[in-house]
Structure 1
Amino acid sequence: MDRTLPHVALSQHAHDRHGDLRRDETWLDERWKDPATRVLVISGARLRPVAGAVVWVPSAQAPTGGLRLLLGERDGVEHFAVLVDPADAPGEPDEWVALRSVVMGLVDDTIDDGPLVMHAIGMAEWHAATTFCPRCGDVLEPRQAGHVLHSPGCGRDQFPRTDPAVIMLVTDGEPGADDERMLLGRSPAWPAGRFSTLAGFVEPGETMEDAVRREVAEETGVVVGEVAYFGSQPWPLPASLMIGFTGRATRTAIDVDGSEIEDARWFTRAELRSEAEAGTVVLPSGVSISRSLIESWYGATLPGQW
């Protein structure tokens, strides 16, 4: 088996976010004017790829009048994003694609840029959803290179939010044995054959481990005992952090809720490989933490993806 698989693809290649320099307007202007600086242009909730790839442009070619966001530095190059109104976006409207499509497809070919793209998308989603102060209703003003929204009415600052969500691979049987099984489920909204690991949001006052147990029980009726941390991945669609776990089942009978999950099945490694090759089971994208969980348990790459 291939044990050199990437742990969590979109959590690799982190950039220096320069949090301590976001208030330094002189430094920001200097970095913006640097010919080496690269900018990602976002129009509303869309990006404009070229030949199927995310495009970073020199700052001199970026549209004027948009909101400038500092992302940070990687490999000696400073990166920004610019948020522009769709009415002012260059090119034709049909040249711009939804951010979810970018995450599921385009980033896969430019995985080194993954954290920068996810940072930009998360900020774009937050700015699109956060216009007025929740305390006084005044219009919010961007500060600190776009990472703070300030209310002139009451002086309160708003910060980008992240909602923790657990995503888990549940197994049954002796680890590594031929008859060890993993649990996958499918949403009623998905095309036929599409399966994934289970996931759900952490509720107030709840630990992440208990969220794993609760979500699995609610959606499939399976009871989970031991829970172990696997890894995490940003998922800013609109504002989640996916926290991956593995769990061991103590009761394996399946009784799906019929709402969030319409079907759930146990798979041995041989069954998963056979159905993935036949296309009767289609697994998540290679950049998702769900795929990392599945292939880490399986022990090698698997064919097919959403």
Structure 2
Amino acid sequence: MSLLKYCPQCAAALADLEIAGRRRRACPDRACGYVHWDNPLPVVAALIEYDGQVLLARNAAWPEDMFALITGFLERDETPEDGIRREIREETNLEVSGLTLLGVYEFMRKNELIIAYHARCEGEIVLSDELVDYRLIAPHRLRPWRAGTGHAVAEWMRQRGLPFDYVDSPRLPAAEG
């Protein structure tokens, strides 16, 4: 449930009301009629294939051993394909030479809907300030995690006939590099 407390239209305290068959934060003033639908946010993700390996990156806010796919929010008037090309360029400096949809995955913990792609990329890797490290992993050494973008990693491996076991989180062992 959303943490929104006050109506952005009339400033009344929001209430948890039954609307369209679900509990939602809404303005109790019927004349106002505001409802916070709290719909999932669309996020794009890329499993980047670079020189025959998969690029996993570490966000500055994550633990030192946590690496995952490149992700980002869509911007207004941007297609998912354009959004992931932009995110890849902004976060890694790489250019996409091939892009294929892997699938659409829920990430309920963050109220997101992930649109994941396999991106073949070229160029020189230069990380944005948002990222502090990356690893290039041989495809057979990937270990998909049980949430969000981990399902896209599993799908990519499944399409290539690579065996895999899920792990609990996108953390790499120290010797993985």
TM range (shorter): 0.7 to 0.9
The one-letter code sitting in structure 2 at the alignment partner of 1:301 is F
Cα 1:187/1:157, change in 2 over 3 Å: closer
Task: Determine if contact 2:54/2:138 at 8 Å carries over to the other structure.
Answer: yes
The one-letter code sitting in structure 2 at the alignment partner of 1:213 is R
Partner of residue 231, structure 1: 103
Partner of residue 256, structure 1: 127
Task: Determine if contact 2:48/2:119 at 8 Å carries over to the other structure.
Answer: yes
Of the three residues 287, 290, 305, the one matched with 2:149 is 290
Task: Determine if contact 2:49/2:119 at 8 Å carries over to the other structure.
Answer: yes
Q: Deviations over 1:196-224 (max 9, x none)?
A: 11111111111111111111111111111
Of the three residues 18, 32, 36, the one matched with 1:143 is 18
- After TM superposition, the score normalised by the length of structure 1 is 0.47
Cα 1:202/1:303, change in 2 over 3 Å: closer
Partner of residue 157, structure 1: 35
Which structure has the bigger radius of gyration?
1
Cα 1:148/1:181, change in 2 over 3 Å: same
- After TM superposition, the score normalised by the length of structure 2 is 0.77
Task: Determine if contact 2:42/2:74 at 8 Å carries over to the other structure.
Answer: yes
Partner of residue 268, structure 1: 138
C-alpha separation in 2, matches of 1:240 and 1:191: 22
User: Deviation at 1:304?
Assistant: 5.0
Cα 1:210/1:227, change in 2 over 3 Å: same
Aligned sequence identity (%): 25
Of the three residues 155, 160, 183, the one matched with 2:55 is 183
Partner of residue 25, structure 1: none
RMSD value, Cα: 2.4
Count of residue correspondences: 161
Of the three residues 79, 86, 105, the one matched with 1:207 is 79
SS of the residue corresponding to residue 164 of structure 2 reads coil
User: Deviation at 1:305?
Assistant: 4.3
C-alpha separation in 2, matches of 1:194 and 1:148: 34
Q: Deviations over 1:204-249 (max 9, x none)?
A: 1111111111111111111113322222222234432122111121
Cα 1:191/1:159, change in 2 over 3 Å: closer
Partner of residue 51, structure 1: none
> Which deviates more, 235-244 or 220-229?
235-244
User: Deviation at 1:262?
Assistant: 0.9
Partner of residue 163, structure 2: 300
SS of the residue corresponding to residue 216 of structure 1 reads helix
Partner of residue 93, structure 2: 221
User: Deviation at 1:164?
Assistant: 0.8
The one-letter code sitting in structure 2 at the alignment partner of 1:287 is R
SS of the residue corresponding to residue 134 of structure 1 reads coil
User: Deviation at 1:290?
Assistant: 2.3
Greater fraction of residues in helix: 1
User: Deviation at 1:151?
Assistant: 4.1
Task: Determine if contact 1:231/1:244 at 8 Å carries over to the other structure.
Answer: yes
Greater fraction of residues in strand: 2
C-alpha separation in 1, matches of 2:112 and 2:154: 22
